[in-house]
Amino acid sequence: MAEMENRWLSADEIGKHLGVSSKDGYRWIDKLTIPTHRMGCLLEFKKDKVNEWLKAGGAVDLNKKDLKE
C-alpha cells in the first residue's frame, strides 16, 4: 500500500490532488515552482514533495502572479 502512495503522479493527478482543474494545474506547473521530475516531455510528481512545497508556502505566489495569462 505504501508503494502505491509513493508512486509518481501525472499532471492531471496532481491537479486533482490540489483541487484545481487540469487546465489550472498546468498553469500552476508553468508559473509556479511546483517540484516536478521531467521524463522527456512528461512531467511527474511525488505527492509528498508537492505537499511539502504547499506547507512551505509555495502556493503563496498565487496571489502575486497572474496565472490567467
Look up the CATH number of the domain holding residue 49.
1.10.10
CA distances for 38 relative to 2, 29, 32, 58, 59, angstroms: 23, 12, 15, 19, 20
Q: What is the pLDDT of residue 59?
A: 74
Q: What is the pLDDT of residue 52?
A: 92
- Tell me which residue range forms the domain holding 52: 2-62
H or E segment to which residue 15 belongs: helix 11-18
69 lies in some domain: no
- In tens digits, the chain (69 residues) has pLDDT values of 455 667 888 888 888 888 888 787 778 777 777 888 888 888 889 999 989 988 988 777 665 555 555
Q: What is the pLDDT of residue 61?
A: 60
Domain count for the chain: 1
